[in-house]
Structure 1
Amino acid sequence: MIIFVALLVYCGVWSVQAEWAAESIWCWPDFPLSESSSIAFLTSLWSKSFLPENVCIQEYPITEYQPIYFAAKSFDDAKSKLRVWAASIPRPFDVRYNAYTQTVEVLEHKSQVMNLVKDIKSDMDLLHSSLAKLSS
């Protein structure tokens, strides 16, 4: 079984999964494409390997269907490639996801980084206390 994961990095990451099954392609969310012309058309679209540095320069016309999809071995493979590529983008700041407020915070001042250190220390103290209670 061959699984394709097509990703489009435009205003986010969209994923479409398809797998070969007998003579038809099943696309998420479970609609079969069994005509041979449809299969040939879809397989010709998924002919390029997913490399984020190529995806970000690919032009997509707004008046037509998307002309190309990029295939990865798995969603995890695409996700790791995307993370490595994103980490290589030079920027004068860092960001962190705050799970409590469900927001992304930009860390560009020393005071913000010091607050992050305090939060991590508080979480580590709680973890240490919890482990001590569990082991006694």
Structure 2
Amino acid sequence: MPKMVLLAQYLSLNGTNLSDDTRKAELTFEVEDKDVTTYGSLGWKVLLGGLKSGELSVEFLNDFAATKLDSIMWPLLGTVVAFEVRADAGAVSTSNPKYTGSVLINGWNPIEGSIGDEASVSVGYPTSGAVTRATS
């Protein structure tokens, strides 16, 4: 199986390609476990999958210039927007699937860091609704 080094991740929020501002993007999912154990399980716990949820975590390098990252993200605060993320900015394929869905922009940290730090912003947005994986 081939290995991969992430060199050109792709991230789009609300239809805007933010790859040039993105240092790191992580998309994670989980499923609630529901305990349906009965006496008939003879002391073994029995679980079923419940609701699914996800989170898109991003580390941006911020830019306050007109039409740049801060001016793009600020108006989105409190809204649900479309996202697309993939491991490489190249064409979508079986070896470069895209994940799409919606996230709630539930926070924005325009200024964080200490003296001498780069102006980076770390955020985590919960998914809202289904997320799809496509290879074409």
> Would you call these one fold, judging by a TM-score over 0.5?
no
Which structure is larger by alpha-carbon Rg, 1 or 2?
1
Short-chain TM bin: under 0.3
Normalising by structure 1, we get a TM-score of 0.22
Normalising by structure 2, we get a TM-score of 0.22
Q: Identify the structure with the greater helix proportion.
A: 1
Question: Which structure is richer in relative contact order (CA contacts within 8 A, separation 6 or more)?
Answer: 2
